[in-house]
Amino acid sequence: MGNVERCDKTLPLNQMMFHVRRDARLRERWLTDFEALAREFGLSRAEIDAVQAKDPRRLMDLGVHQYYVPQILRLFFGAAQNSNASAALECYKRAFPEETAKALALQARLETTAPPARRARS
């Protein structure tokens, strides 16, 4: 998945996210007039398309900081449903199918081998 070394600090979307996450008016515009907001920050068509597709892999491949990718998804889906069935997680599952399958298999193995007291807390 993502890593800090792949982050492009000059990418307009990284600059935009730095400001959007701190400003309620910009977050509102993200939802109501994303295209105009994107133009103001100088986003490329590829950046705009990746955001609108809600595609974590494309975002990371463009150089979006890995910290900003889940924040971008939260702007669309909110943070109240952070679970294994959330819309944001579904975006990651589509973008990283092999990694998801491995993680879910590991989770299932751990749940079946966990002591009974630990399974009850899950």
pLDDT confidence band for 83 (50 / 70 / 90): low
Cβ-count burial of 108 within 10 angstroms (0-12 exposed, 13-18 middle, 19+ buried)? exposed
- Predicted TM-score of the model (pTM): 0.74
Nearest to 89, CA basis, from 53, 59, 47, 56: 56
Q: Residue 92 above 60 pLDDT? A: yes
pLDDT of residue 82: 61
Nearest to 2, CA basis, from 115, 92, 83: 92
Please state which CATH number belongs to domain 4-121.
1.10.700
Rounded to whole angstroms, the maximal C-alpha distance in the chain is 55
pLDDT confidence band for 15 (50 / 70 / 90): very high
Segment 62-71, tens digit of pLDDT:
999 988 998 9
pLDDT confidence band for 44 (50 / 70 / 90): very high
